[in-house]
Amino acid sequence: MTLIQPPSDQVLDRAAALLADGKLIAIPTETVYGLAANAWDRDAVAKIFAAKQRPANNPLIVHVAAVDRIAEAAMMPLAPELQHQLDCVVDFWPGPLTVVLPRASHISDWVTAGRDTVAVRIPSHPVALRLLERCPFPIAAPSANRSNYVSPTMAQHCDGPMDQPGIHQFIEMVIDGGDCDFGVESTIVALQQGGPRLLRPGGISAEMLADRFGITVEQLTQATNDRPVESETGNEVTSAMLAPGMMKEHYSPSTPLVLYSATQANSSSKRVGRIAFAQLDASDTSRYAVVETLSDSGDLREVAKGLFAALRRMDHAGLDLIVIDTCEPVGIGLAIMDRIHRAAATPLS
């Protein structure tokens, strides 16, 4: 029996009740599908880590329904400098922007990996917002896949054994909100004394944020001086990350992934697939067992939207190797290249 349900009012009412009862469900957002739990319920949040096999030092993003509900997750009022920074970007909400703020006391260490900060956002997906409006609590929702695997961008990715050891056996329901519009996770920026810092590129570009903050992209993206803290939320003490999506290896298919180079040779003894960002000519196409074209014209918005789904299809195509195109790390290209480098476990230069 499928877990996938349409986003009717009746289904959303049931979903809110399941979350209130400490259960896990998969929900659509404009970025990727999330594995959702009541962010105020410590035991429910712990189930997320068990389901995803997620390390306890990797914090979660908390989703709230509106700006006037930020206090459900963050300590309000903010210090004047932090409030000014938030005011600069608040109109990106609802949308694919996450901000790291001082945490509220009722947010558990499981959510924040023991840190005194919390990552918060307001999703723009209408189904996610309708669900959040029904819940008198915020929702913690990392991507609905096992830790380090390719993020899900359609409901079918959350309901089945194809990414075993998957998470479908841990969830009560998948709410089908269609394909995700952005296809890569939200931008994460830390609002802090001394200036904001970009922690993860995403749908809101570094250039857009730097313009709002009145600083350069270089200032926004410079390495943070944040010092790791010790997390004791799991079975062992580890250094807690400041935000999700900061692991060197992440978003990875099981099939080896390499970045395309025009000089590389393809062995005829291997089944090699190619993920292309634009149409290839016939001679290029013939070199590969499978070719996925993400955009006819090379539109990077289309590339971002289709990236994770293509990686999943390639991963189940019986290939020995996946070769993927690259782009300039500018605008949404920075988010695309961040995901590709982490999926291939190569450094982002």
Domain boundaries, the chain: 4-240, 257-344
What is the model's pLDDT at position 251? 79
What is the model's pLDDT at position 159? 79
Q: Is 115 helix (H, G, I), strand (E, B) or coil?
A: coil
In the numeric block, which tokens belong to residue 26? 């998969």
In the numeric block, which tokens belong to residue 145? 């896949």
What is the model's pLDDT at position 269? 58
Domain boundaries 4-240, CATH class: alpha beta
Question: Which CA distances in Å does 202 have to 95, 209, 231?
Answer: 11, 11, 26
Closest CA to 325 of 281, 276, 278, 279: 276
Superfamily of domain 257-344: Threonylcarbamoyl-AMP synthase, C-terminal domain (3.40.50.11030)
| Contact yes or no for 309/183 (Cβ under 8 A) | yes
User: Which residues, 6+ apart, have CB-to-CB distance to 35 below 8 Å?
Assistant: 24, 25, 26, 48, 51, 52, 141, 142, 143, 144, 145, 158, 167, 171
What are the beta bridge partners of residue 190? Answer: 100, 197
What is the model's pLDDT at position 223? 57
Mean pLDDT by 10 residues, the chain (349 residues): 91 98 97 97 96 92 98 97 98 98 94 96 98 98 92 90 62 96 96 95 96 96 55 51 69 91 59 96 93 97 97 95 96 96 76
What is the model's pLDDT at position 228? 46
What is the model's pLDDT at position 225? 43
| Contact yes or no for 140/111 (Cβ under 8 A) | yes
What is the model's pLDDT at position 160? 67
Quote the DSSP letter at residue 103.
Answer: B
What is the model's pLDDT at position 236? 46
Euclidean distance between CA atoms 138 and 261, whole angstroms: 45
What is the model's pLDDT at position 136? 97
Q: Is 63 helix (H, G, I), strand (E, B) or coil?
A: strand
In the numeric block, which tokens belong to residue 46? 């712990």
Closest CA to 3 of 163, 179, 157: 157
Residue with tokens 């040779």: 265
Q: β-strand 290-293 against 272-276: which pairing, if any?
A: parallel
What is the model's pLDDT at position 162? 45
CA diameter of the chain: 62
